[in-house]
A and B are shown apart, each in its own frame.
Chain A
Amino acid sequence: MKKAAKKSLKARDGELASINRQLDILNGGIFADGELPYFKDKIAEIGHFPLRPQKLEILQINVGYMCNQVCEHCHVDAGPDRKEIMTKETMEQCLEVIRNTGAHTLDLTGGAPEMNPNFKWFVEEAAKAGIQDFIVRSNLTIIRANKKYYDLPEFFKKHNVHVVSSMPHYTRGKTDKQRGDGVFDKSIKALQELNAVGYGIPDSSLRLDLVYNPSGAFLPGDQAAMERDFKKALDEDFGIQFHNLFAITNLPISRFLDYLIASDNYEDYMYALVDAYNPAAVENVMCTNTISVSWDGWLYDCDFNQMLDLKVANKIKHIKDYNEDLLNDRNIVISQHCYGCTAGAGSSCQGTVA
């Protein structure tokens, strides 16, 4: 086991910073030689190929890849060295879409979305659109990273933002191993500050959910059981409360793929994903109700396809040309990483799906 890297794959000029190299791995090896079935063949067995969207429910916008952390499993390859940040002009284009979308959920992600210099302005403007569920994915430590972020809990509260935060484990060792030294203590402090303004308290309308990603080459366990364990431990040890835990499978792309290969776990992990393939999860897989927008305005079926630069298979490809009806008439782009969303009880940015 090694210490978490301090730089993104891109800054390290790592082999897997190349998207083409990642796709070669996902399409070749044990899949090309027939040991494991291609994802498209698997979903064809149940009549779901080509995979088609259902009603759009979630508009997910990635406002930039810059982050104060360099988590070992990060599928975005985010970090302090990433300079891809959404401009105000692209945000304006997004706002136009947010005001007119039929989606009930707006989901801002990153990197650390708060590090975008126009983040607060964007949240204020987006909140005016009155979308039912307005999510910001916060890594928690950003709230304690710098004085300029100390007011984030109050800011989120003012705009009734639904906070979704990563927390890989309720013990210090496992959290710091995945996310970096000191992350656990800062996350605990940030959760206590969110609780203090009313977030995560039972019956509070200020929603605070946690995201659990396995800290290694294994799949998440039962979401409800994990939630019980997290609630008990965080309450007993730190007096922390939260609403729901989302158990999310790590998809074999970017830094997690790099880790799988470096630790000689890639093949076993792909076997585990394929073994755990659940046809029932295909029905509700996230890409069927989501559109993902990148920092530079391109449109994708999901955040993972965004990181593999697999743009939507549609003539509408950019937020400036957005047309929900035209966009919904498309085939979803898939590859072998998609097994990550159909394993076990399924996995999405909102947790299990089956």
Chain B
Amino acid sequence: MANSYYDPADLRKFGKITEWSEELGTKFFDYYGKVFEEGALSAREKSLIALAVAHVVKCPYCIDAYTKDGLQRGITKEEMMEAVHAGAAIESGATLVHGVQMMNKYNKLSM
């Protein structure tokens, strides 16, 4: 066993999860593939969304995968960084909006 929880080489083995649960694994990868096809949103737009979410959920495999995917699609580094900021802004906004709850509680408890 490796001495760290994350090994970049494990990303190549992602498909192997199907070996221990074929039906669910296959359904997942079919769904996953379908989600990222061209649709009402372009595959390019979805790649940027995936990159932003990858950062928010702090998945190193996903960050590697969608940085490479973006490069393959000709997405520029400026576009990628803006997507990361969009994810970061929502994440920090989600923290800050709880400030209203804090304010509500403060006001309720205060004379």
Q: A residues within 8 A CB of B16?
A: none
A212-229 vs B: 1/0 string, CB under 8 Å?
A: 101010111110011001
On whether A171 and B72 interact (CB within 8 A), knowing A225-B43, A225-B44, A271-B12, the answer reads no
On whether A220 and B76 interact (CB within 8 A), knowing A225-B43, A271-B12, the answer reads no
B72-A214 in contact (CB<8A): yes
Q: Judge whether A169 is part of the interface by a CB distance below 8 angstroms.
A: yes
Count of residues in B whose CB is under 8 Å from the partner chain: 10
A220-B72 in contact (CB<8A): yes
Least CB distance, A247 to chain B, in whole angstroms = 10
B71-A216 in contact (CB<8A): yes
Q: Judge whether B85 is part of the interface by a CB distance below 8 angstroms.
A: no
Interface positions of B from 66 to 109, Cβ below 8 Å from A: 68, 71-74, 76
A225-B73 in contact (CB<8A): yes
A226-B71 in contact (CB<8A): no
Of B42, B44, B68, B76, the residue contacting A218 (CB under 8 A) is B68
A222-B43 in contact (CB<8A): yes
Q: B residues within 8 A CB of A271?
A: 12
B1-44 vs A: 1/0 string, CB under 8 Å?
A: 00000000000100000000000000000000000000000111
A226-B74 in contact (CB<8A): yes
Count of residues in A whose CB is under 8 Å from the partner chain: 18
A221-B74 in contact (CB<8A): yes
Least CB distance, A46 to chain B, in whole angstroms = 20
A219-B72 in contact (CB<8A): yes
Give the number of A-B contacts (CB < 8 Å): 29
Least CB distance, B81 to chain A, in whole angstroms = 13
Closest B residue, CB atoms, query A220: B72
B44-83 vs A: 1/0 string, CB under 8 Å?
A: 1000000000000000000000001001111010000000
B12-A218 in contact (CB<8A): no
- The CA-CA distance from A226 to B71 in the complex, in Å, is 11
Q: A residues within 8 A CB of B42?
A: 225
A221-B72 in contact (CB<8A): yes
Least CB distance, B77 to chain A, in whole angstroms = 8
A166-178 vs B: 1/0 string, CB under 8 Å?
A: 0001110010000
Closest A residue, CB atoms, query B12: A271
Q: A residues within 8 A CB of B71?
A: 214, 216, 218
A253-284 vs B: 1/0 string, CB under 8 Å?
A: 00000000000000000010001000000000
Q: B residues within 8 A CB of A225?
A: 42-44, 73
Closest A residue, CB atoms, query B73: A221
B73-A171 in contact (CB<8A): no
Task: Give the interface centre of A219, A222, A275 by most chain B CB atoms within 10 Å.
Answer: A222
Q: A residues within 8 A CB of B68?
A: 218
Q: B residues within 8 A CB of A230?
A: 74
Chain B residues proximal to chain A, CB less than 8 Å:
12, 42-44, 68, 71-74, 76
**Pairs across A and B, CB under 8 Å, 25 listed:** A170-B74, A171-B76, A212-B74, A214-B71, A214-B72, A216-B71, A218-B68, A218-B72, A219-B72, A220-B72, A221-B72, A221-B73, A221-B74, A222-B43, A222-B73, A225-B42, A225-B43, A225-B44, A225-B73, A226-B73, A226-B74, A229-B44, A229-B74, A230-B74, A271-B12
- What 9 pairs between A and B have smallest CB-CB spacing? A221-B72, A221-B73, A218-B71, A218-B72, A218-B68, A229-B74, A226-B74, A271-B12, A219-B72
